[in-house]
Amino acid sequence: MAEPVEFRSEDGSLMKLLKYDDRYYVTHFVGNVKDHLAAIDAMDVREDDTFIMAYPKSGTHWAFTLAFMLRTGETAYRGSPTFLDYTDMETIDKLPSPRVFATHIAFELMPKQVKEGKGKVVAIFRNPKDVISSLYAFLKKVDHKDFFRCHNTWEGLLEFYIEGKIYYGSWFEYMKNWDKVRREHKGNNVMYFIYEDLIQDLRSQVQRLALFLGVSFETEFLDTVTKRCTFRNMATEATKTFTPSEQWKEFTKDKTLPIYRKGEVGDWKNNFTVAQNEHFDRVYNEKMKNSSFDFRFE
């Protein structure tokens, strides 16, 4: 069973999480965590299932929208994906195909059939400074005692982040686990996206994703998907045209989908002090020195 835990930073910021098997989860994870993870492990995966995997605030919704358009051949915005983490298995099993899921859990906790090569996994990663800056902005929009239970200053949140006392645990451990997947996973059902690459050349990444998913469309359709899914359009048109679920309306202060903001590479500079940045760089260089992943920070 998951154990509720609380952390206090030096400046008094509060972080409330669930802890199970030495991992941290959000308080609204389904059930007691243990049983739901067992249900995810035993999930009946369909051949055309797609799973978007990302550490929080790394481009989950962006990758979902791209994958959903390519899976369905439709260019309508769909809002939020169905998260394995927050959806009971009975609901998941009843969803019509093609199903596009999202999750923040580690690959080793994914359905057994996925780890055996069934379905498609799209893993997206973002430089860690922009991740925490985006999370900070996101949390300021959330206002619900049963959602992300915390009260954080920037200094407090950054402290939790560096120490790994945060939702889904350490970003560095998350990346370490993906390095292991890269080395050991034998299937050909995992594709890797870098968030900054989507910003730099979205069209080529749309082409890559279409090939990976095994879907075939005319150039015109891929061009349309690219145009619809530029971050600027996602942040303006998609937000205006999509009606958020009742859950999001309940959890946010302005009753809108609080996902898309700037989508800029290097926005972290608006939050990090010189001293904080130097400290983070020391931690990053130490923990990522043997990683197969490389990130751009501006």
- The residues assigned a catalytic role are 104
| 71: number of Cβ within 10 Å | 20
Q: How far apart are CA 198 and CA 207, in angstroms?
A: 11
Count Cβ neighbours within 10 Å for each residue of 269-287 and write b for 16 or more, e otherwise: eebbeeebeeebeeebeeb
Beta strands in the chain (DSSP E): 3-8, 14-20, 23-25, 50-54, 82-83, 100-103, 120-125, 150-151, 190-194
Side chain identity at residue 264, one-letter code: E
Q: How far apart are CA 208 and CA 218, in angstroms?
A: 14
CA angle 24, 25, 29 (to 5 degrees): 160
Exposed/middle/buried for residue 290 (C-beta within 10 Å: 0-12, 13-18, 19+)? exposed
Whether residue 260 contacts residue 267, with contact meaning beta carbons closer than 8 Å, is answered with no
C-alpha dihedral sign at 214, 219, 224, 230 = positive
Instruction: State the angle between helix axes of 128-139 and 171-184 in degrees (0 to 180), rounded to the nearest 10.
Output: 130
Q: How far apart are CA 9 and CA 215, in angstroms?
A: 48
Q: How far apart are CA 235 and CA 134, in angstroms?
A: 14
